[in-house]
Amino acid sequence: MPSTRSLALLSLLVSVSLVLSKPAEAQSAAPPSLTELYKDTAGALIGAALTDDEGWEKLTYLTTVIGNRLSGSPQLEQAIQWAGQSMRREGFDKVVLQPVKVPHWVRGKESAQVVVPHPRALPMLGLGNSVGTPPEGITAPIVVVKSFDELKALDDKAVQGKIVVYAVPWEGYGKTVQYRGRGASEAARKGAVAALVRSATGNSLATPHTGAMRYAQDAPKIPAAAITPEDADWMRRMAEAGRPVTVKLTMEAKMLPDADSHNVIAEIAGSEFPDEVVVMGGHFDSWDVGQGAHDDGASCIAAWQALALIKKLGLHPKRTLRVVLWTNEENGLRGGRAYRKALGDMVKNHVAAIEMDGGCERPVGFGASLGAGRGGSEEGSTTPSPAAERMLSRLRQIGALLEGIGAGSITSGGGGADIGPLMREGVPGLALRTVMEHYFDWHHTDADTLDKVDPLNLRRATAMLAVMGFVLADMPGRLGDQ
């Protein structure tokens, strides 16, 4: 009797012989993968990106000559005009400055000081959209809380007329940033006259982080500012020791009437399906501190330069490949909303949207999500649905083209603030992912400067956007097709 091993070998030989005996057309029936189809094109794009100097020159000009770019500021409009003029010189098929009305918040002069127990200056940054203090400032005792629940549990009399300090633990950006967003209104409901919020970072060298806050309709508007984690912890320890602290806060912050701004749009028209669009980009505005290098200047330059390299190599995708430098992401999201509104019913022709808005550290790949209503995951589950898995499978074939630069990872979950309006209309969304080791050390601070960007990482990001954008715009079928 033949052994089990002999039977297994015989079965394998029979299987191989059956495959080899099939007609040639049957053997080659499976279509080539996207990895096979675009291997040479991806190699050319990666090579061009890794040897490119123009992207770094653009980022240097943007951050060094123009600097930070808050919505409504002359610097943002200078950057927009410079980008539009430069793109026209580069000869893209279409360059458009799309009008957008944006909020115009002005910081003005600001300061904070400890008055009691010992006078000293407090490093601080007013939170974006905050109201100012009276000209003489606000001087008041502080009350320290470590959570909204702790604030809620206090008697209103313990808070009235005081400055609430949120000395909250760092639990990652998503959890900690909520105190920046709605901390002022929660404090105002209890009778506080101002709010000081621990900066949303896990690592600080006495550096405050600004960012947008928002006022609830049913609460008074009180001034709000960010303080450093070091000072928030000091205030917490003083409170635990029963030691009173009094602070003086002075802010000239105010909101002016909406200002004129623009989204910057450039594209290479599709050779076969020009009405179908793959869009990629970042936001061109930044906070009014630092240089907006990581947030989000490098991302904008990477997307812009990716399109420039595709054009230089004479590549013509079947679908239109478009770059948008969105305005007003930081304190209003007006640019992303205006872009979607201008599309009207034509939003259905957007094949995919790619956003880079997580800094320009070493990139590792992309996160991706199906748009709303396309079966991204089963209700109540974080597991990708069959439809999402099919999309991820196709994207992983593109990701394989980026493995040589260590950026081939494709994971579930992607999107971004500016492409959110598109995704809510069913457009698949992708986000470029990085190691995120130091991004929140610099985020929204005076330290977000060009020296924090590694030129090689900018080139890697440019290569990723060039390859992903081109393949999505050129591949057989649309990304979200079943």
Give the pLDDT confidence score for residue 375 in this predicted structure: 57
Asked whether residue 172 carries a pLDDT value surpassing 60, the answer given is: yes
Give the pLDDT confidence score for residue 384 in this predicted structure: 77
DSSP-assigned states of every residue in 20-46: HTS-HHHHT-SPPPHHHHTHHHHHHHH
Give the pLDDT confidence score for residue 376 in this predicted structure: 55
**Measured CA distances, 482 to 285, 387, 479 (Å):** 37, 7, 9
Residue 1 CB-half CA count within 13 A: 2
What is the Cα–Cα distance from 91 to 93, expressed in whole angstroms?
Answer: 6
Backbone angles phi, psi at 5, to 5 degrees: -65, -40
H helix runs in 400-438, sequence order: 420-423
Contacts of 145-149 with CB under 8 Å at 24 or more apart are 146/236, 148/179, 148/186
Question: Which residues have a Cβ under 8 Å from the Cβ of 95 and sit 6 or more positions away?
Answer: 84, 87, 88, 264, 265, 266
Annotated catalytic residues are 329
Asked whether residue 209 carries a pLDDT value surpassing 70, the answer given is: yes
**Measured CA distances, 413 to 97, 171, 219, 385 (Å):** 31, 20, 35, 12
DSSP-assigned states of every residue in 221-268: ---EEEE-HHHHHHHHHHHHTT---EEEEEE--EEEEEEEEEEEEEEE
3-class SS at 76? helix
Q: Which position has the higher pLDDT, 435 or 1?
A: 435
The amino acid occupying position 437 is: E
User: In 3D, which of 74, 101, 103, 136 has the Cα closest to residue 255?
Assistant: 103
Tokens 């209003």 belong to 332
Give the pLDDT confidence score for residue 372 in this predicted structure: 80
Environment class of 146 (CB within 10 Å of its CB; exposed 0-12, middle 13-18, buried 19+): middle
- Count CB-CB contacts under 10 A for residue 235: 25
User: In the chain, what is the straight-line distance between the N-terminal and C-terminal CA atoms, in Å?
Assistant: 50
Environment class of 466 (CB within 10 Å of its CB; exposed 0-12, middle 13-18, buried 19+): buried
Query: Domains plus CATH for the chain?
Result: 34-104+257-474 (3.40.630.10), 108-252 (3.50.30.30)
What is the Cα–Cα distance from 67 to 461, expressed in whole angstroms?
Answer: 21
> DSSP label at 385?
P
Q: Model pTM?
A: 0.91
What is the Cα–Cα distance from 132 to 221, expressed in whole angstroms?
Answer: 10
Give the pLDDT confidence score for residue 351 in this predicted structure: 97
Asked whether residue 28 carries a pLDDT value surpassing 60, the answer given is: no
**Measured CA distances, 322 to 135, 419, 479 (Å):** 47, 13, 16
Angle between helices 39-50 and 298-312 (to 10 degrees): 120
Asked whether residue 11 carries a pLDDT value surpassing 90, the answer given is: no
Q: What percent of the chain has pLDDT over 70?
A: 92
Asked whether residue 1 carries a pLDDT value surpassing 50, the answer given is: no
Per residue in 264-304, pLDDT tens? 999 999 999 999 999 999 999 999 999 999 999 999 999 99
Asked whether residue 379 carries a pLDDT value surpassing 80, the answer given is: no
The amino acid occupying position 131 is: V
Tokens 């390859």 belong to 467
What is the Cα–Cα distance from 335 to 423, expressed in whole angstroms?
Answer: 15
DSSP-assigned states of every residue in 296-350: IIHHHHHHHHHHHHHHHTT---SEEEEEEEES-TTTT-HHHHHHHHHHGGGGGGE
Per residue in 99-138, pLDDT tens? 999 999 999 999 999 999 999 999 999 999 999 999 999 9
Asked whether residue 17 carries a pLDDT value surpassing 80, the answer given is: no
Give the pLDDT confidence score for residue 271 in this predicted structure: 98
Is 78:206 a contact under the CB 8 Å cutoff?
no
Per residue in 223-242, pLDDT tens? 999 999 999 999 999 999 99
Strand ranges inside 358-412, DSSP E: 363-369, 409-412
pLDDT mean across residues, the chain: 93
Give the pLDDT confidence score for residue 31 in this predicted structure: 85
Give the pLDDT confidence score for residue 382 in this predicted structure: 61
Phi-psi region of 195 (alpha: psi -120 to 50; beta: other; left: phi over 0): beta
The predicted model gives 207-222 an average pLDDT of 98
Tokens 């995951």 belong to 377
Token reading at 242: 């029963």
- Strands across the sheet containing 363-369: 94-106, 254-268, 319-326, 273-283, 350-355, 429-434, 363-369, 409-412
